[in-house]
Structure 1
Amino acid sequence: MALNRHKVKRFWQNYQDNILLAIALILLTGVVLESRRRGGFEQLELQVYDRMLRQQPELASDDRLVLVEINEEDLRQQERWPFTDEVYAEVLENIQAAEPAVIGLDVYRDFPVEPGYSRLVEQFKKPNLIAIRNLDVLTGTPAPPAVVPEQQGFNDFTLDPDGVLRRALLYATGSDGMTLPSFALSIAMLYLYEAEGISPQASEIDPQYLQLGEATFFPLETDSGGYQTVDARGYQMLFHYRDRSLMLPTITFTDVWLNEFDPQLLKDKIVLIGSTAPSLKDLVISPFSLGSSEGSKMNGVVAHAQVLSYILDTAMGGRSQFRFWQEWQETVWVVVWLTSGAVIGWWLRHPIAIVGGLLFGIVGTGGIGYLFLQNFVWIPVAAPMVSFLVAMGFVIVYQSYQDFRQQKMVMTLLGQNTSPAIADALWEERSELLNSGHLPGRSLTATMLFLDVRGFSTISETMSPPALLDWLNDVLEMVTHEVQSRNGIINKFTGDGIVAIFGVPVPRETPEAIAQDAQACVSAALAIAEKLEPINQTFSEKNLPQVRLRVGIFTGEVVAGSLGGKDRMEYGVIGDSVNTASRLESCAKERQPVDCRILIAEATEQYLDQKFDLEPWGPIPLKGKVEVVQVFRVLTPAEKPVSTTVTTG
């Protein structure tokens, strides 16, 4: 049991950060999906849908439809609104004489406006005329009394929360309990039956669904496409706009009233009569509207024509019905993009690559959504796009934080005592070096340098503490520079000395690399000896004590890693090689022929490739060591070599 707990603890230590990131991404996924379920992305989805719709190619004008418009000039001509029944009767008589297929009157005529009411009633009895009413006849407008229910259609629009017309209500039950079709559907069914012999039927897919010709009209659901909280009561459909303004053949109301038009324009056509006069404010906002100003809105009669044209096209196979993914498919779609964003964010580091990743998410989700929409399939775009960007950004921020934390950890471990080259190499290897908040111990071959000021205790008794500190810092600053400039690490300051290491923390595994470290360490010691002379000269001029240094260098196996806990941690090396270097520095203290004595062992000498002048000191017993160690003194350039050829054995 204890072993299992230990394994779990080690597993947690090794993968803690990744586990926490995975948990955070799972929570992020839950937040995104729940936000989407509650409609958090709905408005953004609708805006993206509108933009994609505006990018699609427009269809040719629908030659089955003709518009008889009531414009501002017509209002001035009649000098009143509403027009009298006699005027409408004359207009309808002139249209009927042209033998249209269907007439759709998008004007309220719920009460007589004399003169001419009886004459207008005769026109309302024509079987090819469809009149409008409101669903709520208690607060709205009922149909003309003379029009039978079969020739009525409600003209109520179903607007989205942002006021845009994207959906069409096909069937609904009015406040009077009557279930009736919309104005556009009534006209379409009458036209299809008279012109094509197509009558409405119950769909074979579901008897509750309406089928007209080749099209089964699937009712819109609350979560269809980009919707999540839409009011889907009644029998609704998402309809496709033919173009921005539906440029229909148009005749003015006055021209028809005066019978100054070509009857052939109306023969066998669907004739819609409605207002385009801005003063009558019969306007709706379409996905093509650039804003909510009246100039960018669509006339109500034109909006009915858009719905009518779409119904006719789908029934006759010209356009497809919108289709939607099931909820689980949309969920998978969002999760796939969220996961993709996290994965891409994990791997990308370079700013240009990050920008490329962001563009991939935006173009990928938007492009795929656009291609689907061209084929009349509306899939979520905003939710996966935002999920991708948020997940990618979250992981990038997380990675940046981890980099900062690891960099701070490295600097905490190594202090400011690392050369830039070593720091860069360590940073490149950080993923292998850093583990659960510490540098795990690893065995490697390194060259250690121990340096100590000879007679420091005696010197400290002759100087004030501030002067002593300045004196010592002048020496240690020079020593630090020489070590770091040769890719060494100042592992610690020992009061009046330092411990430096060459060959850590990134392992040096080949004999050539180990030799480079050993030679760099000896070169640093010689540079220290050379720089010591001018420092002592300056001290002499200031009547300060002279500095004499002892240096011990040893190359061998060590274990390097972080020592301590989370509250106090430092980078350290341990092993017999460390002790040997320390003993070399302090051995034979009475033998110091120069101001900077540099002693090395045979373990280091074998890597020097005879590049340095050495003075053999022979085998010397070191404190704490059972076996004697072959010791050499490294000669400075100013010294005359005792022997330039060294043999060991």
Structure 2
Amino acid sequence: YYYLPYMYCMDPEMLDPTYWEGKVAMVGASLPGLMDLRNTPVQETFAGVEIHANVMNSILQNQFVKKTSPTKNFNTILFLTILTGLIISLPKKTLYTIPVPIVGMIAWWAFTLFQFFNHLIMWETVRPMLSIFGTYGGVFLYNFFGAEKDKRFLKDTFSTYISPTLIDQMFDAKEEPQLGGEEGYHTAFFTDIQSFSAFSEKLSATDLVELLNDYLTEMTDILLENKGTLDKYIGDAIVAFYGAPAPVNDHEYYACRTAVLMQKGLSEMRDRWRGEGDRWPEIVHNMQNRIGINTGQMVTGNMGSTMRMNYTMMGDTVNLAARLESSAKQYGIYIQVANESYIACKDKFVWRDLDFVRVMGKTEPAQVYELVAITGEETDKEKTFLKAYHEALALYRNQEWDKAKEAFKAADELEDMFAGRKTNPSRVYIPRCDHWKESPPGDDWDGVWTLTSK
């Protein structure tokens, strides 16, 4: 509406009388001092005369503000309640739904304003917004105290030895761990510190505990980040497995990746300890760990007594993994992997064909490999000595003992004999060449070597 001073209406010289043709004029006051300002739902101070103008305009145009019916209001509230419930039930984590009620209430408020100013339809504003907020609050509380309770139980029970990702997977798939043992195809993982007994001679009990806690924390973090399940600590040793209690695709790959990352992590820890000067003795600066990995059928589950149980693993696969970890020292290597694990992820890592060996306590021979690096991350030095070593191994398996011996000697010169490493696979094969030369194995030789110590 246009506001004109009253004098314009009375003086034809100020405003041409033809201006009023086809128009209706309402006379009134708009000054605050004249006490004709009113409060309305759309504006706090509204000239009283304009209220009359709106009434007259509605009559002339036959356009009136229409309120929605109680039935329509009820159906709207019901629709918004169901829609809000469906939307906030989609995200896996309840906290992700916090923006939903805020956006919903703002959207409804904007919709009611649009309907009023453009179509003169007056929708209910408060109760639909309360229904959105109330629905969110109800579902949130249900998830937190109901559905989330089960997830919190799993996390409280298993978070010390299962990665959070696997716990979420178990919850989403409704896979609760079963009491007792369950057989499955998994990967066993063993690691411990090389010559750890010597550490206790060089360190006080307090320093030894501090060092061990630092080491175990770093190694366990790597294990859990790569979907491993921590079985137990045995002194400095870590026992773990992959694929239970929740399934893990490519569990062989994750076990091998864990081993490589543990070696990298330990290397960084050694650099940090050296940087602390005389805080730690030289034996700590040169700390190494050995790892054994094997894949196969095993039993996992809660085992023990009715008073005290432990989620662990058992089986021949587990025993071989433990033997591979301990026998790695005889070859001077730090990650020894059985053939079953190797086959599943051979293209993703760089390997050394180590041996076809019968370990202590086993009657069946096993083909074993040294895990050197992730594919593409091997150094030029590793490429060089692996090429020389495999050429020597081919001569050895062809029973060309003299040529194999000289080739292993050449490969030995290329090996990295860092502090604490007492031997390497090439050195192991040199006396074997002499042994087989003196006592030839025959044409039907299967290449098996029997270890006489763990």
TM-score (norm 2): 0.53
Output the CA distance in 2 between the equivalents of 1:272 and 1:472.
92
Output the CA distance in 1 between the equivalents of 2:334 and 2:156.
32
Q: Using a 3 Å threshold, how does the CA distance of structure 1 residues 333 and 573 change in structure 2: closer, same or farther?
A: farther
Select 1:413's aligned residue among 147, 158, 161.
Answer: 158
Q: Using a 3 Å threshold, how does the CA distance of structure 1 residues 306 and 413 change in structure 2: closer, same or farther?
A: same
Q: Percent identity?
A: 18
> Is 1:366 matched up with 2:114?
no
Give the Å deviation of 1:555. 0.7
1:489-500 correspondence runs (5 A): 490-500=230-240
Could you say which residue in structure 2 is the equivalent of 1:554? 294
> Is 1:639 matched up with 2:383?
no
Aligned residues of 2:357 and 2:367 also touching (Cα < 8 A): yes
Q: Which has the larger radius of gyration?
A: 1
Output the CA distance in 1 between the equivalents of 2:262 and 2:31.
96
Give the Å deviation of 1:288. 5.2
Could you say which residue in structure 2 is the equivalent of 1:584? 323
Q: Using a 3 Å threshold, how does the CA distance of structure 1 residues 251 and 439 change in structure 2: closer, same or farther?
A: farther
Q: Using a 3 Å threshold, how does the CA distance of structure 1 residues 630 and 304 change in structure 2: closer, same or farther?
A: same
> Is 1:516 matched up with 2:259?
no
Could you say which residue in structure 2 is the equivalent of 1:281? 35
Select 1:377's aligned residue among 121, 137, 142.
Answer: 121
Output the CA distance in 2 between the equivalents of 1:579 and 1:319.
88
Give the Å deviation of 1:581. 4.7
Q: Per the alignment, in what secondary structure is the counterpart of residue 40 of structure 2?
A: coil
Q: Using a 3 Å threshold, how does the CA distance of structure 1 residues 470 and 385 change in structure 2: closer, same or farther?
A: closer
Select 1:344's aligned residue among 83, 87, 95.
Answer: 87
Give the Å deviation of 1:333. 0.6
Output the CA distance in 2 between the equivalents of 1:639 and 1:390.
70
Select 2:353's aligned residue among 613, 620, 629.
Answer: 613
Select 2:330's aligned residue among 593, 602, 606.
Answer: 593
Aligned residues of 1:451 and 1:549 also touching (Cα < 8 A): yes
Aligned residues of 2:300 and 2:313 also touching (Cα < 8 A): yes
Q: Could you list the runs of 5+ residues in structure 2 that have no partner in the other structure?
A: 373-414, 416-423, 434-444, 449-454
Select 1:465's aligned residue among 205, 211, 234.
Answer: 205
Could you say which residue in structure 1 is the equivalent of 2:62? 319
Q: Using a 3 Å threshold, how does the CA distance of structure 1 residues 358 and 416 change in structure 2: closer, same or farther?
A: same
Q: Using a 3 Å threshold, how does the CA distance of structure 1 residues 461 and 322 change in structure 2: closer, same or farther?
A: same
Q: Which has the higher contact order (CA 8 A, sep 6+)?
A: 1
Q: Deviations over 1:125-166 (max 9, x none)?
A: xxxxxxxxxxxxxxxxxxxxxxxxxxxxxxxxxxxxxxxxxx
Q: Per the alignment, in what secondary structure is the counterpart of residue 466 of structure 1?
A: helix
Q: Deviations over 1:441-500 (max 9, x none)?
A: 997643212235688789869975324424545764675577578765544322231113
Aligned residues of 2:333 and 2:425 also touching (Cα < 8 A): no
Q: Per the alignment, in what secondary structure is the counterpart of residue 331 of structure 1?
A: helix
Aligned residues of 2:192 and 2:236 also touching (Cα < 8 A): yes
Q: Per the alignment, in what secondary structure is the counterpart of residue 247 of structure 2?
A: coil
Aligned residues of 2:291 and 2:336 also touching (Cα < 8 A): yes
Give the Å deviation of 1:429. 3.9
Give the Å deviation of 1:539. 12
Q: Per the alignment, in what secondary structure is the counterpart of residue 332 of structure 1?
A: helix
Could you say which residue in structure 1 is the equivalent of 2:402? none
CA RMSD in angstroms comes to: 6.2
Select 2:365's aligned residue among 630, 633, 638.
Answer: 630
Give the Å deviation of 1:274. 7.0
> Match for 2:86: what amino acid?
V
Output the CA distance in 2 between the equivalents of 1:633 and 1:531.
28
Q: Using a 3 Å threshold, how does the CA distance of structure 1 residues 334 and 433 change in structure 2: closer, same or farther?
A: same
Q: Using a 3 Å threshold, how does the CA distance of structure 1 residues 492 and 275 change in structure 2: closer, same or farther?
A: same
> Match for 1:367: what amino acid?
F
> Is 1:501 matched up with 2:241?
yes
1:98-177 correspondence runs (5 A): none
